[in-house]
Structure 1
Amino acid sequence: MAQGRGSAMAAAVLLCLLLSRLEFAQAATYTVGGAGGWTFNTAGWPKGKRFKAGDTLVFNYNPSIHNVVAVNKAGYDSCSTPKGAKVYRSGKDQVKLAKGQNYFICNFAGHCQAGMKIAVTGA
């Protein structure tokens, strides 16, 4: 009998591992702005796309003239960088989406106001 319980436990652990791999395998990668990359007028880019928590957003841009800042809703709405916000500067940033709202702006002067910002919901 004890051996049967051990086999059932091993099967349950294996099933959990397989399901976690399946969920991970379903994560998608999106290049923000498509072929044009992270630039002006990208605010509408997320429309019509279905994002999940764990998906990766790739921000491609020229780091001498742009950046990516993960902000909260207030920072997004006001185009300002809250204290402690994560700033990306590589030009090839990869950001995993969290569950719920994810907000990103470029905080170079005037860029966010010119449409260089996106709001993405990770389901």
Structure 2
Amino acid sequence: MAMAQGRGSAAQGFALGFLVLCLLLGADTAGAATYNVDWSFAAGSWPSGKTFRAGDVLVFSYNPAVHNVVAVDAGGYNSCRGSGATHTYTSGSDRVTLVPGTNYFICSLSGHCGLGMKMAVTAN
């Protein structure tokens, strides 16, 4: 009878440990904020005064017939070119999860980036 109790205790311990692990992993995700970005020619000033964390989500809203969102590196951001592009979004309602450091975004269509449709967001 002691063996059956031992196996039951081990299973309960495993289940409890698994539950605690799930709660700890979920706690970091639950702390993530979602920000709605009006992706427009004034987008560059949008992050001003906001504090971002890695894991936060930006939701870019725009008309996909005339804009896109391109995640680029610092060079692509500064030159308004898709160099170093990691992803191009085209849905008009794109969800992008921030990574640690500075996240750069441009619109690569019709010279829009040069007209101010670009944004740098730093996440801690």
TM-score (norm 2): 0.83
Decide which structure has the larger Cα Rg and report it: 2
Give the Å deviation of 1:100.
1.1
Q: Which runs of 5+ in 1 are unaligned?
A: none
Give the Å deviation of 1:5.
8.8
Q: Name the structure 1 match of 2:56.
A: 55
Q: Is the 8 A contact 2:76 2:85 kept in 1?
A: no
Q: Which runs of 5+ in 2 are unaligned?
A: 1-7
Q: Name the structure 1 match of 2:46.
A: 45
% identical equivalent positions: 49
- The structure in which a higher percent of residues are helix is 2
Q: Is the 8 A contact 2:70 2:85 kept in 1?
A: no
Give the Å deviation of 1:16.
3.1
Give the Å deviation of 1:8.
6.9
How far apart, CA to CA, are the structure 2 residues paired with 1:98 and 1:74?
A: 17
Give the Å deviation of 1:10.
6.0
Q: Name the structure 1 match of 2:98.
A: 97
Q: Is the 8 A contact 2:44 2:120 kept in 1?
A: yes
Q: Name the structure 2 match of 1:22.
A: 27
Cα offsets for 1:51-99 (capped at 9, x unmatched): 1111110010001110000000000011010155311111111111111
TM-score (norm 1): 0.83
How far apart, CA to CA, are the structure 2 residues paired with 1:9 and 1:88?
A: 42
How far apart, CA to CA, are the structure 2 residues paired with 1:27 and 1:83?
A: 26
* 1:49 partner amino acid: K
How far apart, CA to CA, are the structure 1 residues paired with 2:85 and 2:101?
A: 20
| Structural RMSD (CA) | 2.0
